[in-house]
Structure 1
Amino acid sequence: MNQPMTFMWNNETAEMAKKAGAAGGISETGAYEGDITSAIYTFGKDGSQSQALEISLDSNGLKANYLRINFLGKDGQQTFGMGLVSALMWAAQIKQAQPQQVQGKDGIEWHCPALVGKKVGLFLQKVLYTKNDNSDGYKFEVRHVFQPGTRKTYAEHAENAPADTIAALEVSMKDKDERTHGGAQFSGSRNASTGGNPYTNQTGNNPPQSRLQQNSGLPPADFDDDIPFAPIGLPFPSHSIYAL
């Protein structure tokens, strides 16, 4: 005969209480429309001139954090990620995104407040990786940007073409497996075709040491030098202010 549980208040249940009613996270490859809840610049170190924009998305209560778009390489030259940033501004309907210094817990951070609170559409690919302790983890990479509601990419909007790209990605794109131990090459229900996505086969969007890597043991990628938080007093380059 089953016995009913006696409920106790202790440290463990107190932590559970803190999480009561908390929204879940995005967990699958796919297209998501939602609000940008944060947008923070990250910078290269050890002489690297690389820069990235790290955003968080809330899609009807489902959240994705540490979505990184690298737009300057270690040599300071623009990468394909600049196109993603430009598309993000178009989807968010903003003409300029001015950086702003904010005092963070680890020092000065550069934020992009113009993007915060704006609704955008992102196609996210789930990437499986091996943590430093050899356990499995996953992150998400931004593969395309689209307009909420219409689901059109900027190219489709500019050419007055049907909204086909995101639908094609939903059918074709699978999770990406970068784990260093065993397992199949890909995981998920979609195949690895890009469906015409110009960003999928690029590697420049994966510089190492985002806050996700710092917090979860994600191993460094080979594209660029590490990009942690900006150190206190780091000047912000003028060419990183965007206008359509």
Structure 2
Amino acid sequence: MNQPMSFAWNPEGAEMAKKAGAASGISETGAYEGTITSAIYTFGKDGSQSQALELSFDSNGAKANYLRINFVGKDGQPTFGMGLIYALMWVVQVKNLQPVQVQGEQGTEWTCPNIIGKKAGLFLQKTLYTKNDGADGYRFEIRNVFQPGTRRTYAEHSENAPAEDIAALEASMKDRDERLKTPQHSGPRGNVQGNPYAAQNGVPQSRLQQAANQHTAAAGQMSEFDDDIPF
């Protein structure tokens, strides 16, 4: 016969009480299924025409906030995020997104109530960055959306294809590191690291050697950027 557990207040129990109800956060790149808990429109500042939909998301108690889908760029033109918005509409099964103006903590804001409380699958990529105070921070960016349960994207649904896209992202996509790099310090006397014109072995270079080095460096810069890859 089972015996109920008895409880006695002690230091260990006090520490556990402090953590009661504490929400854990999503902390890794990956695919998550859960519920959209808020959806707020944000707008660019200082002349920018950008617009975004900012989501909060709960995946079985693990939460993520400030998940931005930028669907209009600074120039007012649609971006990659526009497709994510339409794919999200398919996932949550709504045919219209109707913005509603409400009074929020920061004043009047636009929200999208008809997707709040809806189930969705989000593939999130963790991006590391440097905060204004120099400390490390991270945020998440939505890379794809998918149907919970089936894990199919809209592209797979429309082509009647098997669910493979999300698994491929799980296998290939890693954290993105945008942290500021520490500047290189000077090396041995007379030779600054990264300077192709510095003295070699303590012997100053001739003008001919310096000219040759300048030509080599310029050629290297041209080959670095002339790769037909759009920014």
The answer to whether TM tops 0.5 is yes
In the alignment, structure 1 residue 84 sits paired with structure 2 residue 89: no
Paired residues of 1:130 and 1:181 also in contact (CA < 8 A): no
Note closer, same or farther for the CA distance 1:202–1:70 as it changes in structure 2 (3 Å cut): farther
- Structure with the larger RCO, 1 or 2 (CA within 8 Å, 6+ apart): 1
Aligned ranges 1:180-191 → 2 under 5 Å = 180-182=180-182
Aligned to 2:164: 164
In the alignment, structure 1 residue 116 sits paired with structure 2 residue 148: no
TM-score, normalised to structure 1's length? 0.67
State the distance in 1 between where 2:132 and 2:230 align. Answer: 25
Gaps of 5+ in 1: 183-200, 204-244
Deviations 1:201-231 (A, max 9, x none): 998xxxxxxxxxxxxxxxxxxxxxxxxxxxx
User: Which amino acid in the other structure matches residue 118 of structure 1?
Assistant: K
Note closer, same or farther for the CA distance 1:136–1:74 as it changes in structure 2 (3 Å cut): same
Aligned to 1:135: 135
Number of aligned residues: 175
State the distance in 2 between where 1:133 and 1:50 align. Answer: 26
Aligned to 1:107: 107
Q: Secondary structure at the match of 1:142?
A: strand
> Structure 1 or 2: larger helix share?
2
Note closer, same or farther for the CA distance 1:202–1:124 as it changes in structure 2 (3 Å cut): farther
Aligned ranges 1:39-78 → 2 under 5 Å = 39-78=39-78
CA RMSD of aligned residues (A): 2.3
User: Which amino acid in the other structure matches residue 83 of structure 1?
Assistant: G
Deviations 1:60-113 (A, max 9, x none): 111110000000112221111000010111000111110001101221000000
Paired residues of 1:124 and 1:144 also in contact (CA < 8 A): yes
CA apart distance, 1:26: 0.3
User: Which amino acid in the other structure matches residue 158 of structure 2?
Assistant: A
State the distance in 2 between where 1:54 and 1:31 align. Answer: 18
CA apart distance, 1:45: 1.6
Q: Secondary structure at the match of 2:69?
A: strand
Q: Secondary structure at the match of 1:87?
A: helix
User: Which amino acid in the other structure matches residue 85 of structure 1?
Assistant: I
Deviations 1:152-191 (A, max 9, x none): 1100000000100000110111000000035xxxxxxxxx
Note closer, same or farther for the CA distance 1:147–1:202 as it changes in structure 2 (3 Å cut): farther
State the distance in 2 between where 1:83 and 1:176 align. Answer: 22
Q: Secondary structure at the match of 1:171?
A: helix
TM-score, normalised to structure 2's length? 0.71
State the distance in 2 between where 1:202 and 1:139 align. Answer: 24
Name the % identity.
72
Aligned to 1:210: none
Deviations 1:4-39 (A, max 9, x none): x869x9xxx8xx84x522220000000000000000
State the distance in 2 between where 1:105 and 1:68 align. Answer: 19
User: Which amino acid in the other structure matches residue 57 of structure 2?
Assistant: L
Q: Secondary structure at the match of 1:114?
A: helix
Gaps of 5+ in 2: 1-9, 183-228
Aligned to 1:217: none
State the distance in 1 between where 2:105 and 2:137 align. Answer: 26
